[in-house]
Amino acid sequence: MKSTRINSILALVAALLLCSCQTHKPSFVKVEDGQFVCEDYPSHFVGTNFWYGAILASEGRGGDRARLEAELDTLKSLGITNLRVLVGGDGPDGIPTRVTPNLQIEPGVYNDTIFWGLDYLLAEMGERNMKAVLFLNNSWEWSGGYGMYLEWAGAGKSLIPAEVGYGPFMESVSHFVTNDKAKELFYNHVRHVVSRTNTVTGKPYKDDPAIFSWQIGNEPRCFRADAEGQDAFVDYMWTTAALIKSIDPNHMVSSGSEGRWGCEEEMDLFERIHSCPDIDYMNIHIWPYNWSWVREKTLKTNLPVAIANTDEYIDEHLELARKYGKPVVLEEFGFPRDDFQFAKGTPTTARDEYYRHVFGRIVEAAKEDGIFAGLNFWGWGGLANQSETNLYWQPGDDYCGDPGQEQQGLNSVYVSDASTIAIIKEATDAIAKALLPDASFDLEANVGIYEGDAPFTVKVNCEAGAEESLELEINTDLGEYVGTYSYPFNVSLEPGFYKAVLYQKAVDGSKVEMDRTNLGFNPEQVISGQDKQPDFDSFWAETLAKLAEVEIDPKFTLLKEHSNEVRQAYRVEMKSFGGETVSGLLYVPVADGKYPAMISYMGYGSEVWYADPSSKPQMIEFMLCVRNQAFNRKPGEKDDWCTRGLEDKEKYYYRGAFADAVRAIDFVCSLEKTDTDRVFANGESQGGALTLAAASLDGRLKAIAPSAPFLCDYPDYFALVDWPGNWFEDAAREKGISKEDMFRTLSYFDIKNFTDRIQCPVIMAIGLQDDVCPPHTNFAGYNHIRTEKSWICYPEAFHNVWQQEGWPIAKEDFFEKYI
């Protein structure tokens, strides 16, 4: 089915491109073959409940158009384009726990300020290609609804659950579906609203594409188990739907139902309602707390139960929806904050996990063209300021996602809920991507790094016919905008590294990110000048001289469990610079003779790994643990080594660590079985830096293989990635060190200032997507090497080059030439 959808999308995209010079009129959403279909709106969506939108858009009490526009912009930026909105409340203002100000003050008597607010809201949403689900009634008291119509029909005073309890309230409103006068008052309201003309746009509501669907009510219920009542309820739903369609045939109609839960736990009743041909799609709501799947003290412990029940509930209704070929929208779901707190800023750990699961369901449905087509989380608190004194809403308080009868903040999602917002954005991005033909960078063809003359072509994989909808944006790795390119992406760049993003135009005209990658162009022409201090060479000569004054004094402990008849393993301790004891893991062949030796330098904070003693029978292997790391790390010791002694180059941590790297060469060369003409070194990340530093400071290494080297080109390094620059800046601030003085100290330990001293052959591996030791910094040191050298790029690798299948073989082949 996906191929059919893709063909449709390609046709729509082509139409959009052909008509791009013309004024485009948004269209209405319809249902075809169980899918939402619209020329400029997606088939699957993420929305929210924004019930107070018309009030916020008004110019009267409760209105704040500046906030409204900011909220809409925020929602749009998050990919939230479907808002479920209350048309307006019913009854007089000032009733506790009810919405205020209301729209319909008395039967047929309207507060035009709220109507004008609804007009303004729809106009603003239309400008942003957002769509509203407008619900017209409510089973519950918080907007008047059933109870108010019954009161107007002379059936007695509308009850407030907070005063009488939900039992008496539900019994009283159960008479709505059999009270013809109450229903007729509502039908008059429907006629008045649906036939309205927008005072802002001059457009009749029936012609406004900003309306996604009319909705009969919020959680319409029968509240009765008897046949007469249920028959009357079904008739009410069908009659209302038909009435809306008779006035407005352009828009869809939905029920607003909770699903089985809101149909007296009877799927048959839900089916009777939604088999109505005038109800275009099915709604369900899910409330794990309200339905007692979790309680205040079990929000986390019962979360798996809530998730399992949620899946079962969704699947039960999807099965019925397939029978009728109608999409399903989960238009209400919510989850309380941790520990049943309400204040902004309190944790949302359990909510986030629940949201992640539910959003995952809609993402998968989008990928599979599923009939689970949309969801609207409850509810959008956005930029609301929460009262510090009022647990429940009071006039003058900001509106948020929680109506007046609920604790403010209970289910609201605020902009400040960063973790929840990230989950929502991740889902909307994934849905937008899933609804488009596949498109991605062809890294295998590109190899990620281009060499030669410009321009060159950035190659992509995409569905035939989708090429014209693609767009390539390139920025430097430091974030400077370079350009935007159309297919076939012939680009001219200066030598360096770049961030490339592949976009595709969606049916609504928005740009959807399909893929991103790092690219390189002629990296060996990238020049990052050395910034050696005048005493750089003398500083390191003095350091090596002080190291030489310290006897190695090695001590060996046989590790029987890691030894065999081929090689024996030892834990070794020795003395290094400043008298510091460092250690390492040594493997030595049992048989007499002279052997090549391989020194391995370890990554930052990594642990020792034990080799198979039979794996390299003709090789001495020594894994060095520099000071304070691995074997040398004290229990509970922090991993802030890179900032220790930052105030003084004489005391800086890497002075000792680089000296330790040289001490490893001293130690290996002192072994009786070492062939000192065949000593090699390799390492990853910090180990790559130590490999380069050791080869720069000591000429005894025959060949080296660093990968993703750390500690290079500090000023650019700190601008490219957050860590470790943030650690350095924090440490400098705490120690009162200026940035200038910090970089002056670090210049003594910047790998690019060492590598022109290397005398042996080098092979370097990089991960093109590395966001810890970016390629930019790798080549800053590499390009100052004057000896035989080569590099390998793994275009899809991040900071895990050592895990790439080809690197161990490449290293082995490289070293074999010199062994």
Catalytic residues, by residue number, are 685, 770, 799
* Rounded distance between C-alpha atoms, residue 243 and residue 370, angstroms: 30
| CB proximity list for 615: less than 8 A, separation 6 or greater | none
In degrees and rounded to multiples of 5, residue 558 shows phi and psi of: -65, 130
Q: Is 483 exposed, middle or buried (0-12, 13-18, 19+ CB in 10 A)?
A: exposed
Query: Residue holding tokens 């020194």?
Result: 599
200/211 Cα distance (integer angstroms) = 15
What amino acid occupies position 443?
L
Residue that is written with structure tokens 């929840």 in the block: 420
CB atoms within 10 A of CB 405: 17
Task: Please count the residues of the chain.
Answer: 819
d(CA 712, CA 782): 10
Is 346:337 a contact under the CB 8 Å cutoff? yes
Structure tokens at 189: 């309201």
- Provide the token pair at 437: 């033909």
Taking alpha carbons only, the member of 565, 561, 571 closest to residue 617 is 565
> Cβ of 391: how many Cβ atoms within 10 Å?
12
| Residue 354 CB partners (closer than 8 Å, separation 6+) | 288, 303, 306, 307, 310, 335
Contact between 44 and 512 under an 8 Å Cβ cutoff? The reply is: no
SS3 620: strand
Cα 495 from Cα 525, distance rounded (Å): 6
Reduced to 3 states (helix: H, G, I; strand: E, B; else coil), residue 624 is strand
Which bin fits 796, alpha (ψ -120 to 50), beta or left (φ > 0)?
alpha
CA 34 vs CA 94, 152, 322, 627: distances in Å: 43, 40, 7, 65
457 alpha carbon, distance to own chain's centre: 30
CA 158 to chain centre: 46
The token duo for 67 is 């906030």
Q: Give the closest residue to 572 by CA, choosing from 590, 553, 555, 551.
A: 555
- By the 8 A CB rule, do 675 and 732 touch? no
674 secondary structure, DSSP code: E
**Strand 674-684's sheet: what is its strand order?**
555-558, 567-575, 581-589, 620-625, 595-601, 674-684, 703-707, 762-767, 789-794
C-alpha distances out from residue 20 to 12, 37, 126, 562, Å: 12, 20, 18, 70
- Dist CA 807 CA 412 (whole Å): 50
Phi, psi of 326 (to 5 degrees): -120, 140
Quick count: other Cβ atoms within 10 Å of Cβ 645? 17
- Minimal CA–CA distance to 796: which of 273, 339, 444? 444
Say whether 603 sits in a helix, a strand or coil: coil
- 805-816 in b/e form (b: 16+ CB < 10 A) is eebeebbeebbe
Omega of the bond prior to 488 within 30 degrees of 0, cis? yes
